[in-house]
Chains A and B, each alone.
Chain A
């Protein structure tokens, strides 16, 4: 075992947005910083590579954002999606701090996308990264290099030297990297299928992982084993229904299938199982991962007819198509008779009304075991199309507890003296359940800044 003689002020584990920001803030405060990124350079940045925007509070127009998105409205949104599973003082502090995120990033070379007019209607609440999260990752790595931060790739933390709730050093294989403080920013465990199986049972084998294969939660497990306070449960995850043909890992945004509300969804027995038109798709896509996960073999099939062609974001894989429902069933491996019956029953149950996909049009079915409550047009115009669905895990909620200065809490509620946490590894403190577009990046950004600031302050005074 080699122990490097060098001792850093701050050792950061994880090179996604939270870790990068923590490292940069600490280095700008004068600390000597080492950033340990578990992935190789080409896959650096964790799930930040797959993100697209963040959600800053603003009391007036801010950079690329229009209008006002104040603490009051933001808090209401957060309270609604978490159903109260949040920490109000900490969450409100985070919302207020988020007002400075965009400016902080822009000053360090990150670019935001000017409004394009028409394509996306999130110009008020969400600031989009030009080109996506990888542009942010690249810009922040460039900035970090300029600050002479010691960046190491392929440097997964395998153990930590820990004594009396104090961090002494991080092991990367045989090498021990000593530091006065440690910032844990290595993400969740969604890519660790074995761990998911412990929580979900064998169904986890059929989950697809939308993000980086490097988020295996090793550091999270290490910290919990060393006595960190646990936040959330291992079976909590953000899961959406994505195309069943997507790669096992790293499929990212493009594997989503956005036509559920326009058609019907059946399981492998060719039976419907949930109201496809319950609400607007952006408000419902996150429950479909769990819904499909509960179906036999964790598979679903969304079926639309030609009326819906072009009315949703084009999927990455082509649909299976056929001119009859029976032929379509054969193509996707469903029982033709049963699917025909399901579609016929659905079509017969459609009540009169006008279709309007831009509002809750109330065009519904009646008398079915599972009714569709909006946008229920009969599936009767060939060619018919089918997309398969599988649960795609975006992120996990299990994490370590922190206080408002991003200091990691131990299981006795006391903060560790020199360990901090930021990003997905602690997001559950604020986001105990549910999801708001861009909130993950906002948490990572705010807590990254706090952790970097506090760690540097501690290190430079000890």
Chain B
């Protein structure tokens, strides 16, 4: 059981919030809180991952600083998330990468860019700045790419999977085979629609400032679906390559290109919008320890997208080598940082939202409650 100053502060804050409850309409955090009388490591990690750091509860709080109760749920949970991302990371020592996250991701990116540049230059020699008949495969061959990214992909999936399993267990969820699927679907729906970025009544949350706004929800959707479309583009291309014997490069009117271009645009608009909002956001709700985690993830997504689109435009020109190596460097850095950066938040939020749906279904706390100790809360007025 972890015991830290972040957890102590989160427990203090939640105890006061639980006696007030004015914010119960805003989001799942407060409705989940109301099912509890006491706060511990598991249920605070759960509540922290239900929090989307929108700031509505901070701006509307009668006990926000300078009040002596000094409540700032958004900031407390931001710090606690940073801490529990590290705590659930696999392998455990790499959890340390969550502190100074922006710094190490920058270093990683620089190294990856350097390696791909050098690798590309070595592989093509004097032809690095030349056009190739089979476009980018002329710089680095298909098989080399598959081997490289396949291996890294497996390692990344393993690290992600084991981190997620640890968090899943902490959330007291049953094995995936005995899940209550209607609840899971509710959780998935809440996650996909970013339900709790609507402020609780469809008018938006207090981000970047006190005035309710839906901007963050839209930009986040652009980012998320942009990512998913790019993922779909890659998957389609894989099927076409291996299943239909239709190797790349593909024309502009092809499924991988259409999906990839749309996704790429989402990954330009979304991250830029989110970065702009983040710059303008009230520093009070950001917490102390983010250390560039959000920003580095958004910048990597943006860089991956813009270099990908550039590569597409330049793939027949003599700049293809440079464009490819740039793109691959960013993609590799993004891949490697996935289990140890902001990317993980999507899974933890989804799991927390599924746990929330289960609890709402049962009208009972599940996370952080030992079976013998569960209190029937139905009689609570």
Measuring CB to CB, which residues of chain A are less than 8 angstroms from any residue of chain B? 42-43, 49-50, 52, 109, 111-114, 116, 118-119, 121, 128-135, 138, 142, 247, 250, 252-256, 309-316, 357-358
**A134 and B201 within 8 A (CB):** no
Contact of B18 among A109, A138, A255, A314 (CB under 8 A): A314
Residue of B22, B24, B363, B379 with most chain A CB atoms under a 10 A cut-off: B22
On chain B, the residues within 8 Å of A49 by CB distance are 62
**B26 and A131 within 8 A (CB):** yes
On chain A, the residues within 8 Å of B15 by CB distance are 314, 316
**A357 and B25 within 8 A (CB):** no
On chain A, the residues within 8 Å of B16 by CB distance are 254, 316
Residue of A130, A133, A142, A250 with most chain B CB atoms under a 10 A cut-off: A130
Q: How does the 8 Å CB contact mask read for B1-37 relative to A, with 1 for contact and 0 for none?
A: 0000000000000011011111111100001001001
How near does chain A come to B70, taking the closest CB pair, in angstroms? 12
**B60 and A131 within 8 A (CB):** yes
Question: In the complex the two chains form, what is the Cα distance from A134 to B363 in whole Å?
Answer: 29
Contact of B380 among A113, A247, A310 (CB under 8 A): A310
Tell me which residues from 317 to 373 in chain B have a Cβ below 8 Å from any Cβ of chain A: 363
How near does chain B come to A441, taking the closest CB pair, in angstroms? 14
Question: In the complex the two chains form, what is the Cα distance from A353 to B272 in whole Å?
Answer: 67
Nearest B residue to A249 via CB reads: B68
**B24 and A134 within 8 A (CB):** no
Contact of B25 among A43, A113, A252, A316 (CB under 8 A): A113
Question: What 7 A-B pairs are tightest by C-beta distance, nearest first?
Answer: A131-B60, A132-B22, A113-B25, A254-B19, A316-B19, A135-B60, A254-B20
Tell me which residues from 56 to 70 in chain B have a Cβ below 8 Å from any Cβ of chain A: 56-57, 59-63, 65-68
**B62 and A132 within 8 A (CB):** yes
B211 interfacial by beta-carbon distance below 8 Å = yes
Main secondary structure, interface of A, reads: loop
Question: In the complex the two chains form, what is the Cα distance from A315 to B375 in whole Å?
Answer: 17
**B37 and A132 within 8 A (CB):** no
How near does chain B come to A289, taking the closest CB pair, in angstroms? 18
Main secondary structure, interface of B, reads: loop
**B25 and A142 within 8 A (CB):** no
Contact of B62 among A252, A256, A312 (CB under 8 A): A252
B127 interfacial by beta-carbon distance below 8 Å = no
Question: In the complex the two chains form, what is the Cα distance from A132 to B26 in whole Å?
Answer: 10
Question: In the complex the two chains form, what is the Cα distance from A138 to B380 in whole Å?
Answer: 31
**A42 and B66 within 8 A (CB):** yes
**B63 and A130 within 8 A (CB):** no
Query: Could you jot down 5 A-B contacts, CB within 8 Å?
Result: A129-B22, A131-B61, A135-B59, A247-B68, A253-B62
B161 interfacial by beta-carbon distance below 8 Å = no
**A114 and B25 within 8 A (CB):** yes
**B210 and A111 within 8 A (CB):** no
Question: In the complex the two chains form, what is the Cα distance from A49 to B56 in whole Å?
Answer: 15
How near does chain B come to A49, taking the closest CB pair, in angstroms? 5
How near does chain B come to A294, taking the closest CB pair, in angstroms? 26
On chain A, the residues within 8 Å of B24 by CB distance are 113, 116, 119
On chain A, the residues within 8 Å of B65 by CB distance are 42
On chain A, the residues within 8 Å of B134 by CB distance are none
Question: In the complex the two chains form, what is the Cα distance from A111 to B56 in whole Å?
Answer: 12
B377 interfacial by beta-carbon distance below 8 Å = yes
Nearest B residue to A281 via CB reads: B381
Question: In the complex the two chains form, what is the Cα distance from A57 to B78 in whole Å?
Answer: 42
On chain A, the residues within 8 Å of B153 by CB distance are none
B288 interfacial by beta-carbon distance below 8 Å = no
Question: In the complex the two chains form, what is the Cα distance from A313 to B33 in whole Å?
Answer: 12
How near does chain A come to B340, taking the closest CB pair, in angstroms? 35
**A310 and B37 within 8 A (CB):** yes
**B23 and A132 within 8 A (CB):** yes
On chain B, the residues within 8 Å of A113 by CB distance are 24-25, 200-201
**B19 and A313 within 8 A (CB):** yes
On chain B, the residues within 8 Å of A116 by CB distance are 24-25, 31
B187 interfacial by beta-carbon distance below 8 Å = no
Question: In the complex the two chains form, what is the Cα distance from A309 to B377 in whole Å?
Answer: 11
On chain B, the residues within 8 Å of A42 by CB distance are 65-66
Nearest B residue to A43 via CB reads: B66
Nearest B residue to A118 via CB reads: B363
Question: In the complex the two chains form, what is the Cα distance from A309 to B63 in whole Å?
Answer: 26
On chain A, the residues within 8 Å of B66 by CB distance are 42-43
B235 interfacial by beta-carbon distance below 8 Å = no
Question: In the complex the two chains form, what is the Cα distance from A334 to B63 in whole Å?
Answer: 32
On chain B, the residues within 8 Å of A109 by CB distance are 212
Question: In the complex the two chains form, what is the Cα distance from A255 to B62 in whole Å?
Answer: 13
B193 interfacial by beta-carbon distance below 8 Å = no
Other than A129-B22, A132-B23, A134-B61, give 7 A-B pairs with Cβ distance below 8 A: A42-B65, A111-B203, A113-B201, A116-B24, A132-B20, A138-B60, A142-B211
Question: In the complex the two chains form, what is the Cα distance from A130 to B21 in whole Å?
Answer: 11
How near does chain A come to B17, taking the closest CB pair, in angstroms? 8
On chain A, the residues within 8 Å of B200 by CB distance are 113-114, 130
On chain A, the residues within 8 Å of B211 by CB distance are 142
Nearest B residue to A282 via CB reads: B381
Known contacts A113-B200, A131-B56, A138-B60; is A253 also within 8 Å of B37 by CB? no
Contact of A310 among B19, B23, B31, B377 (CB under 8 A): B377
On chain B, the residues within 8 Å of A358 by CB distance are 379
On chain A, the residues within 8 Å of B59 by CB distance are 131, 134-135, 138
B199 interfacial by beta-carbon distance below 8 Å = yes
How near does chain A come to B38, taking the closest CB pair, in angstroms? 9
**A111 and B18 within 8 A (CB):** no
Nearest A residue to B34 via CB reads: A119
Question: In the complex the two chains form, what is the Cα distance from A226 to B18 in whole Å?
Answer: 46
Known contacts A138-B60, A142-B211, A311-B380; is A131 also within 8 Å of B22 by CB? yes
Q: How does the 8 Å CB contact mask read for B149-182 relative to A, with 1 for contact and 0 for none?
A: 0000000000000000000000000000000000
On chain B, the residues within 8 Å of A313 by CB distance are 19, 21, 380-381
**B19 and A128 within 8 A (CB):** no
On chain A, the residues within 8 Å of B67 by CB distance are 250
Question: In the complex the two chains form, what is the Cα distance from A254 to B62 in whole Å?
Answer: 10
Tell me which residues from 182 to 231 in chain B have a Cβ below 8 Å from any Cβ of chain A: 199-201, 203, 210-212
Question: In the complex the two chains form, what is the Cα distance from A135 to B377 in whole Å?
Answer: 29
**A52 and B25 within 8 A (CB):** no
Known contacts A314-B15, A314-B18; is A131 also within 8 Å of B23 by CB? yes
On chain B, the residues within 8 Å of A256 by CB distance are 19
On chain A, the residues within 8 Å of B26 by CB distance are 130-131
**B60 and A132 within 8 A (CB):** yes
On chain A, the residues within 8 Å of B22 by CB distance are 52, 129, 131-132, 253
**B62 and A130 within 8 A (CB):** no
**A311 and B19 within 8 A (CB):** no
Question: In the complex the two chains form, what is the Cα distance from A109 to B211 in whole Å?
Answer: 9
How near does chain B come to A222, taking the closest CB pair, in angstroms? 28
Contact of B199 among A121, A129, A130, A315 (CB under 8 A): A130
How near does chain A come to B71, taking the closest CB pair, in angstroms? 10
Residue of A109, A252, A312 with most chain B CB atoms under a 10 A cut-off: A252
Contact of B60 among A118, A121, A134 (CB under 8 A): A134
**A130 and B68 within 8 A (CB):** no
How near does chain B come to A117, taking the closest CB pair, in angstroms? 9
How near does chain A come to B249, taking the closest CB pair, in angstroms? 52
